[in-house]
Structure 1
Amino acid sequence: MCGIVGYLGPKEKKSILLDGLQELEYRGYDSAGIAVISQGKLQHFKAVGKLENLRKKAADFHSDGPGAAIGHTRWATHGKPTELNAHPHMGAFSYVVHNGIIENYQELKKELESEGVRFVSQTDTETIVHLFERNIQKGLEPFEAFKETIRRLEGAYAILLISEAAPETIFFAKNGSPLLIAFDGDEVYFASSDTAVIGKAKEAYYLEDGEYGYAKPGEVKLFGPEGEKELHTQPLPSDKAMAQKEGYRFFMEKEIYEQSTVIGDTMLGRVLEDRVEFEELDPSLFEGIRSIKICACGTSYHAGLTGAYLLERLAKIPCQVEIASEFRYKEPLLTPDTLFIVISQSGETADTLEALKMAKRAGLKSLSICNVDNSSIVRESDATILTRAGIEKGVASTKAFATQVMVLWMLTLYLGQKHRTLAPETLAKELDAMRHTPRALLVEEKLHEKLHRLSKRYLHGHGFFFIGRDLFFPLALEGALKLKEISYLHAEGYPAGEMKHGPIALADAELFTIALMPKTLLYDKIKSNVEELSARDATILAISPEEFELADDFVRTKNGDHPMLEFFEMMVVTQLLALEISIRLGNDVDMPRNLAKSVTVE
């Protein structure tokens, strides 16, 4: 949820930390801070709000020469977004940054307070630095003091700690939250994600749960539960051009426009002339499988719902979809003939990761659909299909959703081929539609201009209903979520046939209904549902290739030959509508309030 960075080396440390935090700000932007130890002395700066506030505070600070430095950008979990609660947290002679949740911090805090330790923040993180310093005061050497500290911690954490007790040393530990070590010669970098070190470091090691160690000039030591370990690095990419706005107003806007390109990357080498192939999948993964359970959160959950319709209709495999945060606590009945599929953009979603671990303990085979290689979920899974969406910096997901749905569609055809549930002519039709998807995702200037004009009507009212049927019900959920996330307007996604079972009571001129009306799937049914709303004076925005005379506003789509082509085209319309409404309301589209890109706490 939060982002952490660290640096050990002779360069100007403030700039390295702030640049790294800038790349991680999507993970949290309630507050930020840095701490630097140079010439044996500690200095720190903290600021509430976005990183720019911290830059201003530290403008006159310089920190070149040998030393160690750590930084943090925060999404609040324990304690309000205040400067006191901002990281790094300080003891008498040490600083710590932490991503995750220390579940037993109340117990540890009481223990420390009984010994006279005074806490100044409301956070769980502060217990870490006080535990460390207490261990130092008991006579332990710094690294032994750090080991004893993490031994006492329960929960999820990625930790970086610096101390006057060990100048020019960074102590680190990982359990449940992401952390990597990167290298450029003798310089050592730490970060929650490789986006913070691309262009600075050349190679990296992605820590596994339970690993910890220290870095000091000329020496990096890594340990695990079994003792000291070899540190095997891998090359980092060097180009960050895809993470820049390139002239768009917001990253989200850029990422909507990128979808037609990245979907081609998703299909590359997988969608062949007469079949779908996944070189990364061993066919034995599917042996003995009689059903599929998909588990995910948020946007990824909506992708999973879409996939379930496809898997049951085309591959003829029973499929259930679970919200990961609920699945973890419902005492689910799991059988070994179920393939457990998890979906996560970041690969670090805490609830999804824990659900995956539950399934593995129950003996299920697992497959992850993820955008980030080497992430925790990827490493935990038996197999992975990478979505290849590229870096997605807008907190509200767009291209990650598109590529997740595409992977599920491809997986459906792959399993349909394997189980021979697809007639040759059906497979050919699906493959042809799949190859036309990049064109369906192209954003036409006329469409964007129209949605910009229409958005003015939809700034006020008492709510939105996004309605659809079949595949378009999950898209309605996703459209409503996008609008909620960035406009802060109330919106709900509903199956169109359920409107008469209660929600239609809300219908009036101030209720805005976004109707997804595909020509190829249950058009007459959805038309009837929308007519019922129109008769009760609801304001209707219809999205369809078929003219609808009762619509107050109408967006004509072009792809009326295949449900999935209609799905992707309507997806773009709902994304652009949410974008334009949010911009008109003056919101920060890329960094909506109270949200973070990677949800690494439950």
Structure 2
Amino acid sequence: MCGIVGYIGKKEKKEIILNGLKELEYRGYDSSGMAVMEKENDNIEYFKAVGKIKNLKEKTKDFTSNGQGIAIGHTRWATHGKPTEINAHPHYGEYSFVIHNGIIENYKEIKEDLEKKGVKFLSQTDTEVIVYLFENILKTETNPFKAFEKTVEKLIGSFAILLITKANEDKIFFAKNAVPLIVATNENNEILFSSSDAPIIGMANDAMYLDDGTYGEAEFGKVRFFKNGKEIHPPRKALPKDRNFAQKEGFRFFMEKEIYEQSDVATETLMGRIKNDQIHLDEIDLNMFDGINNIILCACGTSYHAALTASYLFERVAKTRTKVEIASEFRYKDPVLDKDSLFIAISQSGETADTLEALKIAKNNGLKTLAICNVDNSSIVRLANNVLLTRAGIEKGVASTKAFTTQVLTLWMVVLYLAHIKKTLSENELKNEVKSILKVPKILKVPDGLQDKIHRLSKHYLHGHGFFFIGRDVFFPLALEGALKLKEISYLHAEGYASGEMKHGPIALVDERLFTIALLPQNILYDKTRSNVEEIVARDGFVFAISPKEFDLSDDFIKTSDQKHYMCEFFEMLVILQLFALEISIRLGNDVDMPRNLAKSVTVE
């Protein structure tokens, strides 16, 4: 769940590490740190700070590191131990330093064994065992790289590791398993390491995205890769050229910018995939749906809500039995998997640990697999048999917006593709579906005055004892997503419910200080949902209605446009819910882009 960077070269290492960590801060910002060792001076300078990268920058303001040398840096999302300087990375032994992303599952056994040998640990983390294990092995193994190799062999769990040591002051040792690690080189003989490609864009033209089980050693101008004890040569892939994503372009927050980008990225998602009123998914195997009678959608968090939305569409439109699984539960439930099921894994980052492990289970059971993902070359993309990239571009706000939008759009296209194969829609019905999906980019444009109106309304919602977001059919997962967005960035209690479930318990909480956000589309179950809302009004609940139809019983109301397809209404209401969460968070003075306790890429269980 953390971000790591490394550098070997002659430039000012502090700035490269700080700049790299800033690009990875979305992965965690409980604490950060760096360690630097120069060739002419084998002393290792290290710094740690609690909180965001700016605190580490302040701590290192008087430090310079010119000349050839090596450096590693880390930004942390706490898993083992509180966010303190002692628990911050890098962790050090007597003469070595390590940074680590992931979880060492057998760290307690290793720790207990090392403690019996006299090692005294300072931190509460699992990472610290790595550096002490390495130094302990080096007592009997004279070659530092061999000692590192033996260290990695003893580790169970997920890890991306960078280790430096005075025992071999020119090198960075590295290892990767189940979490991302990228290595790049350039014409200046510099070596670069990172958890994602963002920190190294502009510093190299291509990079190597390491597979699980890869480890190695790097020194100025040279990198060696190994797997299962044998030297390998990972393929190189071109890095993106554009760093404009790092600019807010006049918006106050990346999340705000990304909400406004949704219209453009939706166009990118659809581009080349719709021709002559037909869905053309050239990226996937033409025979992917042969023999498929069931769909399994598997994801976490916001991606899970996209999966739930798609499940309604697969069954209604493509007439295919569909099951939705929370990845963190699926991987431990000993699932019964039939080979006539297509397993669809959904992840923004492509590195979501639970979803990745669930995908491995599906593959090991012989299921056909499809990844819906935003990041090319990610672990999930490389593992799946078939891939559809959502093309959302880099999403820096921790609370997902455009990634969710493009996931739902992509899944809708898969549904229509399958419906065409199975002939569950008439030719005219399929044309109407395609016409509707093509309207989505325009619908996602934020209308003039909408955000200002929501800003004015938002002042009503700063006090109370919670929120209900309610909807039926696909508007139930949209209600779940609206509640999640509000929870993530406002820290206010919010729950999403199927409207018809209110009377089965939740309505007991309704009073004038309980805010209900009611999604009332005109094209699907309007009267049923309206009746559920009236039950809340009758109990003095405060209701904010979103609908194309006037609702005179509501306390607040936003009128949406008149659409003919319920999914067009879905996307219009989605934007309203995103802006609603954004404006409440801003009024509360929260850090919209980096909400507390969260990280963007969830690479641990």
Q: TM-score, with normalisation over the residues of structure 1?
A: 0.99
Looking at structure 2, the residues matched to 30 and 439 of structure 1 have their Cα atoms a distance apart, in angstroms, of: 39
Residue of structure 2 in register with 1:183 after alignment: 185
Are residue 10 (structure 1) and residue 13 (structure 2) matched?
A: no
Residue of structure 1 in register with 2:489 after alignment: 486
Kept in 1, the 8 Å contact 2:356–2:380? The answer is yes
Looking at structure 1, the residues matched to 316 and 170 of structure 2 have their Cα atoms a distance apart, in angstroms, of: 60
The equivalent position to 1:428 in structure 2, one of 408, 428, 431, is 431
Following superposition, the deviation at residue 555 of structure 1 comes to 0.3
Looking at structure 2, the residues matched to 243 and 567 of structure 1 have their Cα atoms a distance apart, in angstroms, of: 29
**Is 228-237 or 525-534 further displaced after alignment?**
228-237
The equivalent position to 2:50 in structure 1, one of 48, 68, 82, is 48
One-letter amino acid of the counterpart of residue 135, structure 2: E
Following superposition, the deviation at residue 104 of structure 1 comes to 0.4
Are residue 215 (structure 1) and residue 218 (structure 2) matched?
A: yes
- 1:367-516 residue pairs with structure 2 within 5 A? 367-516=370-519
Kept in 2, the 8 Å contact 1:270–1:278? The answer is yes
Q: Secondary structure at the match of 1:165?
A: helix
The equivalent position to 1:524 in structure 2, one of 503, 524, 527, is 527
Residue of structure 1 in register with 2:167 after alignment: 165
| Runs of 5+ consecutive residues of structure 1 not aligned to the other structure | none
The equivalent position to 2:64 in structure 1, one of 62, 65, 78, is 62
Looking at structure 2, the residues matched to 572 and 124 of structure 1 have their Cα atoms a distance apart, in angstroms, of: 41
Following superposition, the deviation at residue 560 of structure 1 comes to 2.4
Looking at structure 2, the residues matched to 507 and 582 of structure 1 have their Cα atoms a distance apart, in angstroms, of: 23
Kept in 2, the 8 Å contact 1:559–1:565? The answer is no
Q: Secondary structure at the match of 1:21?
A: helix
Looking at structure 2, the residues matched to 17 and 263 of structure 1 have their Cα atoms a distance apart, in angstroms, of: 34
Following superposition, the deviation at residue 182 of structure 1 comes to 1.1
One-letter amino acid of the counterpart of residue 204, structure 1: A
Following superposition, the deviation at residue 445 of structure 1 comes to 2.7
Residue of structure 2 in register with 1:342 after alignment: 345
One-letter amino acid of the counterpart of residue 30, structure 2: D
Q: How many residues align?
A: 602
Residue of structure 1 in register with 2:569 after alignment: 566
Kept in 2, the 8 Å contact 1:296–1:343? The answer is yes
Q: Secondary structure at the match of 1:445?
A: coil
The equivalent position to 1:94 in structure 2, one of 86, 93, 96, is 96
Kept in 1, the 8 Å contact 2:277–2:435? The answer is no
Residue of structure 2 in register with 1:547 after alignment: 550
One-letter amino acid of the counterpart of residue 5, structure 2: V
Q: Secondary structure at the match of 2:449?
A: helix
Kept in 2, the 8 Å contact 1:66–1:168? The answer is no
CA-to-aligned-CA distance 1:392-424 (integer Å, 9 cap, x gap): 000000000000000010000111111111111
| Runs of 5+ consecutive residues of structure 2 not aligned to the other structure | none
Residue of structure 2 in register with 1:174 after alignment: 176
One-letter amino acid of the counterpart of residue 280, structure 2: E
Looking at structure 2, the residues matched to 337 and 236 of structure 1 have their Cα atoms a distance apart, in angstroms, of: 37
Q: Secondary structure at the match of 2:274?
A: coil
CA-to-aligned-CA distance 1:231-254 (integer Å, 9 cap, x gap): 321211111102321110100000
- 1:244-263 residue pairs with structure 2 within 5 A? 244-263=247-266
One-letter amino acid of the counterpart of residue 246, structure 1: E
Q: Secondary structure at the match of 1:52?
A: helix
Following superposition, the deviation at residue 559 of structure 1 comes to 3.8
Looking at structure 1, the residues matched to 30 and 153 of structure 2 have their Cα atoms a distance apart, in angstroms, of: 29
Q: TM-score, with normalisation over the residues of structure 2?
A: 0.99
Following superposition, the deviation at residue 97 of structure 1 comes to 0.4
Q: Secondary structure at the match of 1:284?
A: coil
Looking at structure 2, the residues matched to 230 and 578 of structure 1 have their Cα atoms a distance apart, in angstroms, of: 47
One-letter amino acid of the counterpart of residue 587, structure 1: N
Q: Secondary structure at the match of 1:196?
A: helix
One-letter amino acid of the counterpart of residue 546, structure 1: K
Are residue 264 (structure 1) and residue 277 (structure 2) matched?
A: no
Following superposition, the deviation at residue 436 of structure 1 comes to 0.8
One-letter amino acid of the counterpart of residue 136, structure 2: R
Looking at structure 1, the residues matched to 207 and 85 of structure 2 have their Cα atoms a distance apart, in angstroms, of: 32
Kept in 2, the 8 Å contact 1:440–1:559? The answer is no
Kept in 2, the 8 Å contact 1:342–1:352? The answer is yes
- 1:566-585 residue pairs with structure 2 within 5 A? 566-585=569-588
Looking at structure 1, the residues matched to 527 and 64 of structure 2 have their Cα atoms a distance apart, in angstroms, of: 68
CA-to-aligned-CA distance 1:161-199 (integer Å, 9 cap, x gap): 111111121101000010000122211100000011112
One-letter amino acid of the counterpart of residue 526, structure 2: Y
Q: Secondary structure at the match of 2:544?
A: strand
